[in-house]
Amino acid sequence: MKKLVLSILGLLFISTSVMAQEVNIFSARHYDSDVQLYKKFTAKTGIKVNIVSGKDKALQKRIKEEGKDCKGDLYITADAGRLGAFQSQGMFQKGASSAGIKKVVPANFRSAYWTGIAKRARVIYYNPKTVNPSWNMTYEDLADPKYKGRVVIRQSNNVYNQSLVASLIKNNGAKNTETWAKGLVSNFARKAKGNDRAQILAVAAGEADWAVANTYYIALMLSGKKGPEQQAAAKKVKPFFPNQDGRGTHMNISGGGILKHAPNKANAIKLLEFLLTPEAQKHIVNNTFEYSMIDGVEPNKLISQFGLGFKQDLKTKVSSYGKLQAKALKIMTEAGWN
C-alpha cells in the first residue's frame, strides 16, 4: 500500500512537472516577430509559450478581474510608464531582476518588478533641405518662440508623450515643465493628432519643420512595410538626437514584469533572460527596429545610418515615468495640449 501511495505521488509529481513546462504571456506588443522569438525559446528549452495578445487596457482589466485565478506569468508591453503604473497597483511580484538580468540590463532600465527588453528613443525629426538643427538642440528648445507654427506632435493622451514630459518634470521640475508645455503648444503647426508616422509625414510634406516621434517608426517606413508613399516620405526627413550636450536623448523601453500570481515564475524568469541574450536581441533590433538593451548588439542598418554613438539619457530612471505620468498629463492638458 505504501508503495502504491508513493507511486501515485510520483506520478502526480511527474504530471505536475510536465504541466509546468510552459509560460503564459499577456502581451500588448503586436509584432509577429515576437511570436517567432518565443518559438526559438521553446526549441531551446522545451518550455511552451502561450500568448494572449491585446491592448493594454483590456489586458490589464482581465488580469485584475481574474485575480488569484489568473494563469498569466508575464505582462509584456511598450513604455516604462505603463509598467510602473501597473506595478503601483500591486500587479507584479519581485523577480524580474535576477542575477542574469542585473548583469546585462543597466539599473536605470529595470526595477525589482520588471525589466526592459528593448530600448526606444523619442527624437526630433526635420527636413534637411529646409532646416539645420544646431548640434546641441534640446527638447526644451521646442518651446522657443522662434519655432512658432513649426512643430507637430501626437496628442497628450499618448503614453510616449506622457513619459517624455515625465522625464522633463524629473529633470527640470514641474514649474519649468509647465512653462515649457505652454511654449510648445503655442508653437504647434496644427492641433496635435495622428500617430508617430503622421508627424514624420507632416514634416516630409512641408506642413511643419520639426516633429517628435520614436526612431523605429522611420525605419519601419524606410523598410517599405508601410508602402512606397511612406517610404518616399521617410527618405525626405532625418531624426535628430536631442540633448547631446546634457543628459542625453530621452530613452524608453519595451519590457516585461512577472505577474503577482504567476504559476510558472521560474519559467518566466528564464524567458526574460532569453530575451536579453545576443541572439534574441539581434532578432528584436532587426525586426522591430528598436535598440538593443544589452551591449554589443548594433541597431538595424536602417537606424544605424543616422548615427551609432549618440548620447543616451542613462541618468533618468525609467521607473520615474510611471510615477510622474499623471502629473505630466495634467501639465499638458492645462497648457492646452489636446
Q: Where are the domains of the chain?
A: 2-119+251-302, 120-250+313-334
**DSSP output for 179-207:** HHHHHHHHTBSS-S-S-HHHHHHHHHTTS
- Give CA–CA dist 259/68, Å, rounded: 10
pLDDT at 11: 37
Question: At a CB cut-off of 8 Å and minimum separation 6, what does 171 contact?
Answer: 247, 315, 316
The superfamily (CATH) of domain 2-119+251-302 is Periplasmic binding protein-like II (3.40.190.10)
Residuewise pLDDT in 10s, the chain (338 residues): 444 443 333 333 333 434 559 999 999 998 999 999 999 999 999 999 999 999 999 999 999 999 999 999 999 999 999 999 999 999 999 988 899 999 999 999 999 999 999 999 999 999 999 999 999 999 999 999 999 999 999 999 999 999 999 999 999 999 999 999 999 999 999 999 999 999 999 999 999 999 999 999 999 999 999 999 999 999 999 999 999 999 999 999 999 999 999 999 999 999 999 999 999 999 999 999 999 999 999 999 999 999 878 999 999 999 999 999 999 999 999 999 99
Identical topology for domains 2-119+251-302 and 120-250+313-334: yes
The grid coordinates of residue 207 equal 506642413
Residue 298 is given by DSSP the state P
Topology of domain 120-250+313-334, CATH: D-Maltodextrin-Binding Protein; domain 2 (3.40.190)
Other C-beta atoms lying within 10 Å of the C-beta of residue 23: 28
Three-state DSSP class for residue 169: helix
Beta carbons of 37 and 11 less than 8 angstroms apart: no
The grid coordinates of residue 229 equal 508613399
Give the DSSP H or E segment for 159: helix 159-172
Please tell me the pTM assigned to this model. 0.91
Give the DSSP H or E segment for 21: none
The grid coordinates of residue 158 equal 499618448
pLDDT at 95: 87
- Give CA–CA dist 294/328, Å, rounded: 29
Beta carbons of 257 and 88 less than 8 angstroms apart: no
Of 321, 332, 176, 184, nearest in space to 251 by CA: 321
pLDDT at 202: 98
